[in-house]
């Protein structure tokens, strides 16, 4: 009997018939479809419940974050909100001025003063404020007793829930002209001290207020990252003779590095937003020369002076620069081997 007439088993024949290369099926190489990839319709049916749950959040983001982007057209107009009761109609009928608002802005010394104050405040907060939550997280994580750790966290979290009005009032009672510090100095024969109205120390005052109010809240992310580190790594390092500092340097800090990189990218992207409400409440204490930042500059020109097109131009420039800072910082994170905000 020849080879071609040798009978084959049924299972072997079925396998041969169902082979994609032999049958030219739907997953064959000829049609370019990945055999391990699920179709869009199948994924939609599988995840429809999750999609419905996220739909309200997506709608809110679209409504309050993306739809207002269309309002940037005001930056290229001499916008007059009194043309119509409808804001969209007012935008359509306001005179078009092109780049005139941007030209005015770049020639305005007040704008460059606001940019300078914003960048100085950002650098101060990056150097003096950003490391504080990391240090506090390391300190709390080193506490062994759970009750002491819980009480410490509660005390550090509490100022975050205070309003800026209350925070500024507390600092006024401590460092104002009639505050505790000034009274203490006068009792010992020294002149009083009013830090709240000192233009030279105003930026350090703003940074100190931010540290006191929000540094405790910022440790939540770092504590979560530390909680994910396996305890057997510390035990193995201790058995190998590593002390507390070497364990922190070789185990704890590497565990925090991805989180630090992500938060640093986000912080750089938020560099031009340094606390609108906080600074606006204290702007009159030291004057716009020391306290004016981009956010208050936009508010003053847009809301107080009713120059909406000029304020919108400043806000648009701020947004473009912030986007560029995010992309640049994320690129640096990729070069350092971290994921950043998004993957490569």
Q: What is residue 103's DSSP assignment?
A: H
Q: What is the pLDDT along the chain (344 residues), one digit of tens a residue?
A: 444 444 444 444 444 444 444 444 444 444 555 566 778 888 888 888 999 999 999 999 999 988 888 888 999 998 888 888 887 888 888 889 889 999 999 999 999 999 999 999 988 888 888 888 888 888 888 777 888 888 888 888 899 999 999 999 999 998 888 888 888 888 887 887 788 888 888 989 999 999 999 888 888 888 888 888 877 787 788 888 887 788 888 888 888 888 888 888 878 877 788 888 899 888 888 888 888 999 999 999 988 888 899 999 999 999 888 888 888 888 887 787 777 666 66
| Distant-in-sequence, close-in-space partners of 302: CB < 8 Å, separation ≥ 6 | 308, 310, 311, 312, 315
- CB under 8 Å to 156, separation ≥6 — which residues? 136, 140, 215, 216, 217, 219
The per-residue pLDDT for 53 is 93
Output DSSP code: residue 77. Answer: B
Is 274 within 8 Å of 125 (Cβ atoms)? yes
Closest to 287 measured CA to CA, from 198, 219, 222, 221: 198
What span, in angstroms and rounded, lies between the C-alpha atoms of 315 and 324?
Answer: 14
- Distance of alpha carbon 313 from the chain centroid: 23
Tokens 């630090």, residue located: 260
Q: What is the pLDDT of residue 344?
A: 65
Distance CA 285, CA 330 (A): 38
Three-state secondary structure string covering 248-301: HHHHHHHHHHHHHHHHHHHHHHCCCCCCHHHHHHHHHHHCHHHHCCHHHHHHHH
Contact 333, 339 (CB under 8 A): yes
The DSSP secondary-structure symbol of 269 reads H
Contact 118, 293 (CB under 8 A): yes
Kindly give, in sequence order, each residue whose CB lies less than 8 Å from that of residue 21, ignoring residues fewer than 6 positions away.
28, 29
Other Cβ atoms within 10 Å of 20 Cβ, number: 14
Tokens of residue 41, six digits: 């319709």
Evaluate whether 315 touches 298 at the Cβ level (below 8 Å): yes
Question: How would you class 301 by CB atoms within 10 Å of its CB: exposed for 0-12, middle for 13-18, buried for 19 or more?
Answer: buried
Tokens of 161: 């829930």
Count of C-beta atoms within a 10 Å radius of residue 64 = 9
């Amino acid at each position: 009997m020849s080879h071609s007439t040798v009978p084959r088993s049924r299972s072997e024949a079925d396998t041969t018939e169902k082979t994609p290369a032999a049958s030219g099926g739907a997953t064959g190489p000829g049609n370019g479809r990945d055999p391990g990839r699920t179709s869009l319709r199948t994924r939609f049916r599988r995840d429809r419940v999750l999609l419905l749950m996220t739909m309200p959040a997506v709608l809110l983001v679209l409504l309050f974050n993306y739809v207002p982007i269309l309002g940037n057209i005001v930056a290229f107009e001499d916008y007059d909100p009194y043309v119509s009761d409808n804001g969209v109609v007012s935008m359509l009928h306001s005179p078009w001025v092109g780049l005139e608002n941007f030209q005015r802005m770049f020639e305005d010394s007040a704008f460059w003063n606001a940019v300078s104050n914003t960048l100085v405040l950002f650098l101060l907060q990056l150097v003096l404020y950003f490391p504080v939550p990391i240090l506090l997280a390391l300190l709390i994580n080193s506490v062994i007793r759970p009750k002491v750790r819980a009480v410490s966290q509660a005390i550090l979290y509490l100022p975050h829930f205070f309003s800026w009005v209350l925070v500024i009032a507390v600092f006024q009672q401590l460092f104002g002209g009639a505050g505790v510090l000034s009274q203490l100095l006068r009792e010992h024969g020294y002149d009083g001290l009013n830090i709240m109205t000192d233009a030279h120390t105003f930026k350090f005052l703003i940074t100190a207020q931010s540290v006191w109010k929000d540094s405790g809240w910022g440790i939540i992310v770092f504590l979560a990252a530390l909680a994910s580190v396996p305890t057997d790594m510390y035990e193995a390092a201790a058995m190998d003779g590593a002390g507390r500092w070497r364990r922190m340097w070789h185990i704890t800090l590497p565990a925090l590095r991805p989180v630090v990189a992500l938060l640093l990218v986000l912080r750089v992207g938020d560099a031009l937003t340094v606390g609108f409400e906080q600074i606006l409440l204290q702007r009159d204490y030291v004057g716009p020369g020391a306290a004016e930042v981009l956010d208050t500059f936009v508010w003053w020109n847009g809301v107080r002076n009713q120059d909406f097109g000029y304020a919108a131009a400043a806000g648009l420039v701020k947004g473009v620069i912030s986007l560029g800072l995010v992309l640049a910082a994320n690129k640096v994170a990729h070069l350092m081997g971290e994921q950043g905000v998004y993957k490569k």
